[in-house]
Amino acid sequence: MDFTIRPAAKSDCKDIWRLIRELAIYEKVVDEVVLSYEEFERDGFGKNPLFESLVAEVPEENKSKEGFTVVGVALFYYTYCTWKGRAVYLEDLYVMTEFRGCGIGKGLLSTLAKVAKEKLCTLLELDVLDQNSRSRAFYAAKGAWDVTAMDNWHTLRFDAVSLNKLANEAP
């Protein structure tokens, strides 16, 4: 199947938002999506974008059952590792179910790797839910390794309540 991978434009924001919501439904965590569309658009396509995206687009003749031509997304941002240098963090990679197995996920990941190399990044990092064995296998097949299992690193998070409490503590 023909498809194109390209940097997202502001005009793609509604499609990206749709795909991110589909991913949350797929991962059975849709109740955790509390961000509004307006916040999402501001954060990705406003004056100081906090993330970038790549989109996968198919020709009109191959559009989805619902009529969409943007069928995949890779949403990412840059970080820094004090041991390794510049890094890119892949927040989400999602391909609509009916387009899986066509190389679109591989195309998004490969294009992101090229972007990372152009930005002089030495690492591409991501998290995958334990229950998502299919995705873990996909990334492993492309050369990713499980840092938690191999190096005993753990991802920690302060949620909004914890963050507010911490911010209000005296220094």
Q: Summarize pLDDT for 72-92 with one digit per residue, the tens.
A: 999 999 999 999 999 999 999
Instruction: Give me the architecture of the 4-126 domain, per CATH.
Output: 3-Layer(aba) Sandwich (3.40)
42-54 pLDDT, tens digit each: 999 999 999 999 9
3-class state of residue 127 by DSSP: coil
Predicted confidence at residue 139, as pLDDT, reads: 95
Residue 139: active-site member: yes
Predicted confidence at residue 112, as pLDDT, reads: 98
3-class state of residue 155 by DSSP: coil
Residue 78 near residue 26, CB atoms below 8 Å = no
Looking at residues 13-26, what average pLDDT do you find?
A: 96
At how many degrees (to 10) do helices 37-45 and 13-26 cross?
Answer: 120
